Structure 1
Amino acid sequence: MNQSNYTIEKVFKNAINQINEFTKHHKEEHFYAFAIDSGMLCLSSEEGFQKIVEQYSKDWLESNKKAKSREHLLDDEIEIIKDEYEFCKKSTIGKNQLDSNKITNLEEYIEYWLKIENKVRERNLRKGNPYINEERIEAIKYNTGNWPYQGFGNLNFESDETSYETKEKTFNYQSYREFTDKLLDLFDKNKDMAFSQLKRTPDFKIIKTRHIY
């Protein structure tokens, strides 16, 4: 067995142990996908994702149903608006924007900002809540950032039986992406063993995440 496979199998075994431990606390949920995202082990269940969608829907309504007023602005929002105003004063386009809207001070800019913000809210309300739209929900269902159990565990590259020299050679030999792809292939080929204690939906998927840094 070569060194890279040796390391992958050790990480694979450790990940399975974490999955089994996680499963003990989520026996009644039905899981539809597994992924590795930036070294994190991620799972999503139908029940957990539904709660996420319900929270998104509630947050969307809260942020759009009422017009925003000056007294409702948070301190950090005011700081952001202030920074925008200072930037506008220093740029040609910004100065033209201020002049065309007859803005001469910060308070006038805040009122201008609120007017734009409330127009956006009105437009959003006309379009409707996106989190009751089946196509929208399906579009975010397989994005690990929307999963209830993103990062329930982590890849463990440490092992008493794996020397630093071995790990160093492994990661010089293949990129992190190649490593995780091979690891996910192992999960895909051994689903019944790796997820033996997990309730899975018939269309359970192994997801390969991709980030551009």
Structure 2
Amino acid sequence: MLEYVNEGGHQFGYRYMRDGSDVPYTCFYTSNVSLPREILGTQPFDPNFRTYGWEDIDLGLRLSRRGLRLIYNAQARVHHCHPMVLRDFYVRQIKVGAAIGTMYALHPDLVQDPLMPPADRPRLWKRVARLCVPLLLPMVNWLDARQVRLPERLYRFVLSDGFWLGRDRAVREQTTRGAERGCLRAVSDCRRRGNASTGSRIVRALHGGMSSPGG
């Protein structure tokens, strides 16, 4: 699994790079990049990223827009000792899927960028993945932990499900928070206008006490 994610999978893409060639901002892997400290400034990472994922790509994007060239040097090697099994990486993918929403919020134009993941996957694909991956994951994890080489498309399918699971959860949570903020504003407006009963109904609806504010 680690060979897949390092060479051409969900974390790195070294198999697609040529020694001495320019690579895009999506290859700004802070686990394996070298540049003068003064280029980074005093706060290189955007604090809007609250969880793991995309904070280094965001930095690479901002630096590239300032004119930074990122060049791949195949002889410059870093030993990053971070053993993982497939289940660990699946959990990581959930976090990465959740964090990409922050990336799109900061840079809305990236939704159309072919270097970035698509904005969504077909609903049928996700339904099939949600049915299959819980059954596949224990078996694939067991085989991978015993260093059984599996087809890349199997790794891609399982890990993609983790990514989209995290992405969909984050979208639902964001939608819920937006609805809660809207309800709380409505409650505040009602109370300010002296209509306490309507405000109380909205609060009960917000917490599941009734089907709708007007019910």
TM-score range, shorter chain: under 0.3
Give the number of the structure with larger relative contact order, counting CA–CA contacts within 8 Å between residues 6 or more apart: 1
Query: Normalising to structure 2: TM-score of the pair?
Result: 0.23
The structure in which a higher percent of residues are strand is: 1
